[in-house]
Structure 1
Amino acid sequence: MKLQPYREGSWFAIPLKNGGYATGLVARLSPQGKVMLAYLFGPTHWTLPTLADVQELKPADALKVIRTGDVAVANGRWPVIGNMVNYRREDWPVPMFIRRADALKRAWQATYADDPAKPEREVSVPYETQGLESDSLYGYGSTELLMTKLLE
């Protein structure tokens, strides 16, 4: 297994279940590795995307912004395409997430700062709150499935 160099601002390709690739950007990486905040993009690329294919993408173009493990990038399953020139964290903000306890009908808004592995703050919010991504930590398989479904 060849480990790939990647960092905040690295573009990567996500293989889709039905062929082709989605793309992603490492927006935050936990200090100890293992967890990253990733902006995920379409459309489907039928060959491995190049840096030219992604360099003009902006945060508003993202289909999803999630917390996911970085093992697929580290081991090459998700190939690193290249690094963004002049990556600036402030241009790629960390969104608010929501964590729900369905059995209790309670919800919390989770705020992350620099470390996508550890919430900085959680605040109770109405269970019915909409418009926030789920505070889930996706594995590489669930991320690939998510992007496959979004791009069908």
Structure 2
Amino acid sequence: MSKKIAPGQIYGVPLKSGGYAPGLITRVQPRSRMPGIMMCFFNRYIFNIPDATDVMDVTLKDVTYIAMTGVLGIKKERWPFLAELKKFKTEEWPAPPFFRIDVVRGFVTIVEFDNVDPTRRVREWVDSDFAIDGLPMDCSSGPEGVEIELTNLSRMHGPIIPLWRRWKFDRSMLK
């Protein structure tokens, strides 16, 4: 892959069930040979590469899943390049807060990442109200993990609901 990986590029993440889930890179870790990236995915699937016309009009409102991952799927050409959003502006795609659960100690931590470097945490705090509905989980997945999660989401009936919105947190889980 000779193309420089950059925000605004859309790659096809292969689903185990066939087809591709288009993923938009919104953040790339600067100055790294194998950078961490933040990708947004949508309730849209592509069955023929390079049929990316369906994702050229995506907006922040269309996001159904956010993944922190690396570029191995791109570098090994498992994730084909689909398109580049010409008018992509990073500031129009703010990094959301993420959540992490410490079941042993019994609390939820909310994490904010840098708006330039998706691997740098800029703020963390314990959320005593457990207000995690709609937040993505603070974890990094390899390409295989992202492919499996997207495949599982694609198999659901009806519109895709992100995993973190389907999962209901119960305080009794911490006791």
Preserved CA contact (<8 Å) 2:44 2:55: no
Compute the displacement of 1:94 (Å).
0.4
AA aligned to 1:23 is P
Q: In structure 2, how many angstroms separate the alpha carbons of the residues matched to 1:139 and 1:43? A: 21
Q: In structure 2, how many angstroms separate the alpha carbons of the residues matched to 1:146 and 1:49? A: 22
51-60 or 40-49, larger mean C-alpha shift: 40-49
Matched, 1:120 2:122: yes
Number of the residue aligned with 1:72: 73
Preserved CA contact (<8 Å) 1:16 1:144: yes
* Contiguous gaps of at least 5 residues in structure 1: none
Number of equivalences: 151
Structure number having the greater strand percentage: 1
Matched, 1:141 2:140: no
Q: In structure 2, how many angstroms separate the alpha carbons of the residues matched to 1:49 and 1:42? A: 18
Secondary structure of the residue aligned to 2:121 is: coil
The ranges of structure 1 where at least 4 consecutive aligned residues each deviate by more than 2 angstroms after the TM superposition are 2-6, 126-130
Q: In structure 1, how many angstroms separate the alpha carbons of the residues matched to 2:126 and 2:113? A: 15
Compute the displacement of 1:127 (Å).
6.9
* Relative contact order higher in (CA < 8 Å, ≥ 6 apart): 1
Per the alignment, do residues 4 and 74 of structure 1 end up closer, same or farther by CA in structure 2, a change over 3 Å counting? farther
Q: In structure 1, how many angstroms separate the alpha carbons of the residues matched to 2:8 and 2:138? A: 22
Compute the displacement of 1:4 (Å).
4.1
Q: In structure 2, how many angstroms separate the alpha carbons of the residues matched to 1:5 and 1:82? A: 13
* Contiguous gaps of at least 5 residues in structure 2: 156-175
Q: In structure 2, how many angstroms separate the alpha carbons of the residues matched to 1:3 and 1:100? A: 39
Determine which structure has more spread, i.e. the larger CA radius of gyration. 2
Preserved CA contact (<8 Å) 2:68 2:140: yes
After TM superposition, list the pairs within 5 Å mapping 1:36-47 onto structure 2: 36-47=37-48
